[in-house]
A and B are shown apart, each in its own frame.
Chain A
Amino acid sequence: MKRRVAELHPFTVICLAVLTVSVATAASRWWLSCAVIALCLAIGAFAGKARELAALSGAIMLPTLLSLLMIHGLASRDSSPVIAAWGPISLTRGGVEIAMALALRTAVLVVAGLLCGLLIDKHQLVAAIDLSPAPPQAGYLLASTLFLLPQMMEKQHAIGQAQALRKAGTSRGLAGWLQRLRLRAVPLVLSSVQDAHDRSVHLAARGFPARGEHSRLRHVADSQIQRGVRWVALLCSVLVPVAILVPLGGAS
Chain B
Amino acid sequence: MDMDHRAPAGTTAALHLRLGSFRYSEAHAETLGEIELEFSPGSLTVIAGDSGSGKSTLGGVLAGMLPRPGADQCQGTVTLAGQRIDYSPEHWPRIDVAGWARHVGLLPQDAGLYLSGIRQTVAEELVFARENEGMPREEMAGLIDELSTRLSLEHLLERDPAKLSGGQERLVALAALSAAKPSIIVLDEPLAGLDSRATQAVTSMITKLRAEGTALVVLSRTAEAWEAEADFLWNLAEGTLQRATAGAATTALLSKPKRPSVPAASAKPLLGFSRVQLGYKGASAPVISNLDLEVRAGECVGLAGANGTGKTTLLKAAAGLIKPTAGKVRVVGDAGMLLQNPSDQLFERTVAREVAFGLPKKSIKRDRVPLVLAQLGLESSAQTHPYELPASARRLVALATVLVREPQLLLLDEPTEALDSAGLYYLHGAIDSVLERGGAVLFSSHDERFMSSTAHRVHQLQGSD
Task: Say whether B136 faces chain A, with CB atoms less than 8 Å apart.
Answer: yes
Q: Is the CB of B129 within 8 A of A207?
A: yes
**Docked pose: A159 CA to B344 CA in angstroms:** 6
Query: Contacts of B344 on A, CB cut-off 8 Å?
Result: 158-159, 161-162
| Residues of B contacting A162 in the complex (Cβ-Cβ under 8 angstroms) | 339, 344-345, 347
CA A212 to CA B134, docked complex, whole Å? 8
**Chain A contacts with B in 215-235, Cβ cutoff 8 A:** 215-219
Q: In the complex, what distance in Å separates the CA atom of A178 from the CA atom of B345?
A: 20
Q: With A and B bound together, what is the CA distance between A33 and B116 in angstroms?
A: 42
| Residue from the list B118, B127, B337, B402 in contact with A147, Cβ < 8 A | B118
Q: How long is the Cα–Cα vector from A201 to B319 in the complex, in angstroms? A: 35
Per-residue interface assignment for chain A, residues 189 to 203, with 1 indicating a CB less than 8 Å from any chain B CB and 0 otherwise: 001001100110111
Chain A residues within 8 Å of B97, by CB: 201, 204-205
Whole-angstrom CA separation of A175 from B119 in the bound complex: 38
With A198-B113, A202-B114, A213-B134 in contact, do A154 and B162 touch (Cβ < 8 Å)?
Answer: yes
Q: Are A168 and B358 in contact (CB under 8 A)?
A: yes
> Of B98, B131, B347, B402, which is within 8 A of A187 by CB?
B347
* A208–B129 CA distance with the chains assembled, in angstroms: 8
Binds A, one of B101-109, B198-206, B238-246, B370-378: B101-109
Tell me if B141 counts as interface (CB < 8 A to partner A).
yes
Nearest chain-B residue to A209 (Cβ)? B132
With A and B bound together, what is the CA distance between A215 and B358 in angstroms?
49
Cβ B106 vs Cβ A217 within 8 A: no
Number of chain A residues close to chain B: CB under 8 A: 44
Distance (whole angstroms) from the CB of B463 to the closest CB of chain A? 22
**Bound complex: CA A129 to CA B132 (Å):** 14
**CB <8 Å contact, B321 and A210:** no
Contacts of A114 in B (CB 8 A): none
A206 touches B132 (CB 8 A): yes
Contact A217 B63 (CB under 8 A): no
Q: Could you show 21 A-B contacts with beta carbons less than 8 Å apart?
A: A144-B118, A151-B162, A158-B344, A165-B336, A165-B337, A166-B358, A186-B347, A199-B116, A201-B65, A202-B106, A205-B98, A206-B129, A207-B101, A207-B129, A212-B134, A214-B131, A214-B132, A214-B134, A215-B136, A217-B141, A218-B124
Residues of chain A touching chain B, judged by Cβ–Cβ distance below 8 Å, are 123, 126, 130, 143-144, 147, 151, 154, 158-159, 161-168, 183, 186-187, 191, 194-195, 198-199, 201-210, 212-219
Residues in chain B within 8 A of chain A (CB atoms) = 63, 65, 97-98, 100-101, 105-106, 108, 110, 113-114, 116-120, 123-124, 127-137, 140-141, 144, 162, 180, 316, 319-321, 336-337, 339, 341, 343-345, 347, 357-359, 387, 401-402, 405
